[in-house]
């Protein structure tokens, strides 16, 4: 029989999850698939379960062999497969009913060597999308290759994909055996050799995070010294592949970035999982490997990974929380901590070590200015005659907001130009009290003269206009900009149109809770009402005409 897809299911001691996995294959809406279930020497009831499914469904095949690992099992499946495309399904995961149909339709439409869809990680408490780096799923379905989208390298699992069998066999693409992280080698070789890689935005795979601590999956045990050694061996095999196939420089750069990210991910899990007697060896091995990466690669890391890198290079054996958690705990940081905050001369917020060890890195690698949120809000709005007054605050933590240190400006844009509104700095002792005395002058008052806005309207023949308000606060070193914040309390002027001379003014919050002001001329509103009445009459006339013709 000519099968569209051969689904290879390696099975090893998964009796608690296996039936859910196989049931998801029974429920596939795509017809003409074969399911190759390979028991890799299980010691539980997994073998009996796959035999039961093979006896019930003619397209399910059960195979039993001695335990030789995941790579060997998948390679056996490739040899047995008869389908046009091959899929790999781990036996504790499952595929949504439309998953393979959507992948196969894209494969045929694009005549693709590889098709990948989205994967979702899940357990009994939560689920979240597997998307290790942005740039792969940002469009609708499309055809590409690794030279165009080098971010594909980071999508290194094989289970969320279809693989053309002819392509796999022609290029002798197979899994390394007796080693972990075999997916990385298989995926990289495929990407490097394929000119037709299709991507679809649909979720096609559900990846289980096991919660039984006595039966974790391979991907959940990646912080042991043995696993780290296997990762390094796979990296070297892939390095040889890169050398042999010689892809573009941007692909090589993303491969180095992939290696660096995954090594640092191993460190982040170390604190709770690596035995104490292995911890120093683990860090030393990581340190040796990480020293190969230059500033070009390190600059691609996010703030949290930069901090992890610094910790490993300086020999720290305790892991730590991410940047946001560090920011929350700023008051707990002391001389025994890994890092401290400093406000350096260029105006950036940095996380730097207390110790005096020389860093073989540029300072900007520890710049976390962008990770520090802008705290902002609106406290009150007043409308008196033609004047709207808005009182609020905005600041970025860790900077000193002394009197006249920061200048506040509120502005809006129109026709590509910036129009500044009258803004005053305001003393805010309440902020100083809440935030450790640093933000006494982080307040502002902005005054909007509606008559001046009206003159602007008349000069430009505008009937309706929305003031999208922005705030900028800056000193001699640094400048920050953001949308006007949300109102902290109820206000009688919010969302209530106010008539003023021949205008209607509405102060409102948009869907992102940012404050905007809409100003409309009264004659414009009258025109709208007339136009609406005209449309209603036209619809009624058309309806009556239709009735009379019948």
* pLDDT at residue 486, rounded to an integer: 77
Cα 378 to Cα 367: distance, rounded to the nearest angstrom: 29
Q: What angle do CA 545, 547, 550 make, to 5 degrees?
A: 110
Work out the average pLDDT over 380-386.
85
Which helix (H) or strand (E) element contains residue 108?
helix 99-110
Report CA 84 to chain centroid distance, whole Å.
33
Q: Which of 194-198, 231-235, 321-325, 486-490 has the lowest mean pLDDT?
A: 321-325
- Per residue in 41-51, pLDDT (tens digit) is 999 999 999 99
Three state DSSP letters for 471-515: EEEECCCCEEEEECCCECCCCCCECCCEEECCEEEEEEECCCCCE
What distance in Å separates the CA atoms of residue 450 and residue 466, rounded to the nearest whole number? 13
pLDDT at 455: 76
The DSSP code for 171 is T
> What does the pLDDT look like over 18-73, one tens digit per residue?
999 999 999 999 999 999 999 999 999 999 999 999 999 999 999 999 999 999 99
- In whole angstroms, what is the distance from residue 473 CA to residue 487 CA? 19
Looking at residue 132, the DSSP 8-state letter turns out to be S
Alpha-carbon span 341 to 337, nearest angstrom: 11
State yes or no: pLDDT of 293 exceeds 80: yes
Given a contact cutoff of 8 angstroms between Cβ atoms, the answer to whether 435 and 504 are in contact is no
Provide mean pLDDT across the span 307-333: 53
Q: Please, which residues bridge with residue 164 across strands?
A: 85
Tell me: pLDDT of 106 over 90. Answer: yes
- Overall size of the chain counted in residues: 550
Radius of gyration of the chain from its Cα atoms, rounded to whole angstroms? 31
Q: What pLDDT digit, counting tens, does each position of 444-473 carry? A: 999 988 888 777 767 766 677 778 889 998
Q: List C-alpha distances in Å: 85 to 33, 34, 185, 375.
A: 10, 10, 19, 52
Whether the Cβ atoms of residue 314 and residue 361 lie closer than 8 Å to each other: no
Poorest-pLDDT segment among 84-98, 194-208, 254-268: 254-268
Q: Point out which residues pair with 518 in neighbouring strands.
A: 466, 506
- The confidence band for 268, taking pLDDT boundaries of 50, 70 and 90, is low
Task: Residue 286: name the closest of 321, 252, 251, 310 by CA.
Answer: 310
pTM: 0.63
DSSP for 331-353, written as a single string: GG--TTSSEEEEE-TTS-EEEEE
Question: Residue 264 burial (CB < 10 Å; 0-12/13-18/19+)?
Answer: buried
What's phi and psi for 328, nearest 5 deg?
A: -65, -30
Closest of 177, 221, 191 to residue 70, by C-alpha: 177
Give the C-alpha separation, 234 to 493, whole Å. Answer: 64
Which residues contact residue 58 at a Cβ distance below 8 angstroms, ignoring those fewer than 6 apart? Answer: none
If pLDDT is split at 50, 70 and 90, which confidence band does 347 have?
very low
Taking alpha carbons only, the member of 444, 342, 431 closest to residue 393 is: 444
Average pLDDT of the residues in 405-420: 83
Contact predicate 68/177, CB 8 Å:
yes
């Amino acid at each position: 029989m000519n099968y569209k897809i051969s689904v290879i299911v390696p099975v090893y001691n998964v009796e608690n999850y296996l039936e859910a996995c196989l049931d998801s294959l029974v429920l596939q809406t795509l017809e003409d698939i074969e399911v190759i279930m390979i028991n890799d020497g299980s010691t539980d009831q997994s073998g009996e379960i796959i035999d039961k499914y093979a006896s019930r469904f003619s397209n399910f095949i059960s195979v039993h062999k001695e335990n030789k690992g995941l790579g060997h099992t998948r390679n056996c499946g490739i040899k047995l497969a008869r389908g046009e495309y091959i899929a790999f399904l781990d036996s504790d995961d499952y595929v949504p009913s439309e998953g393979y149909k959507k992948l196969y339709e894209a494969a045929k439409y694009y005549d693709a060597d590889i098709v990948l869809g989205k994967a979702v990680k899940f357990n009994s408490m939560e689920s979240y999308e597997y998307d290790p780096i942005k740039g792969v799923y940002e469009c609708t379905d499309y055809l590409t290759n690794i030279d165009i989208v080098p971010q594909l390298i980071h999508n290194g699992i094989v289970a969320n994909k279809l693989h053309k069998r002819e392509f796999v066999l022609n290029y002798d693409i197979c899994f390394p055996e007796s080693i972990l992280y075999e997916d990385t080698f298989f995926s990289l070789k495929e990407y490097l050799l394929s000119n037709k890689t299709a991507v679809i935005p649909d979720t096609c795979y559900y990846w289980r995070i096991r919660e039984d601590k006595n039966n974790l999956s391979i991907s959940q045990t990646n912080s042991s010294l043995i696993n780290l050694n296997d990762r390094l061996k796979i990296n070297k095999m892939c390095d040889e592949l890169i050398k042999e196939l010689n892809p573009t420089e941007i692909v090589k750069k993303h491969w180095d970035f992939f290696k660096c990210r995954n090594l640092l991910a191993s460190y982040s899990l170390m604190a709770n999982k690596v035995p104490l007697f292995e911890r120093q060896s683990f860090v030393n091995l990581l340190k040796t490997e990480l020293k190969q990466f230059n500033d070009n690669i390190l600059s691609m890391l996010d703030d949290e990974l930069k901090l992890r890198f610094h910790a490993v290079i300086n020999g720290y054996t305790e892991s730590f929380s991410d940047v946001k958690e560090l920011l929350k705990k700023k008051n707990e940081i002391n001389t025994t901590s890994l890092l401290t905050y400093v406000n350096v001369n260029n105006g950036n917020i940095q996380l730097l070590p207390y110790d005096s060890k020389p860093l073989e890195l540029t300072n900007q690698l520890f710049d976390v200015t962008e990770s520090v949120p802008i705290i902002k809000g609106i406290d009150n709005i007043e409308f008196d005659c033609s004047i709207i007054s808005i009182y609020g605050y905005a600041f970025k933590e860790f900077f000193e907001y002394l009197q006249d240190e920061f200048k506040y400006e509120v502005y809006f844009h129109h026709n590509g130009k910036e129009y500044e509104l009258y803004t005053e700095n305001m003393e805010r002792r309440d902020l100083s009290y809440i935030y450790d005395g640093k933000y006494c002058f982080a307040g502002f008052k902005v005054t909007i003269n509606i008559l001046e806005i009206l003159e602007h309207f008349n000069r430009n023949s505008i009937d309706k206009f929305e003031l999208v308000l922005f705030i900028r606060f800056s000193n001699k070193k640094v400048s920050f900009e953001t949308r006007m914040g949300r109102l902290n309390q109820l206000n009688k002027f919010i969302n209530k149109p106010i008539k003023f001379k021949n205008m209607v003014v509405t102060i409102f919050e948009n869907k992102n809770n940012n404050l905007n002001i809409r100003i409309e001329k009264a004659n414009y509103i009258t025109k709208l009402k007339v136009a609406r009445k005209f449309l209603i009459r036209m619809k009624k006339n058309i309806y009556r005409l239709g009735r009379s013709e019948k």
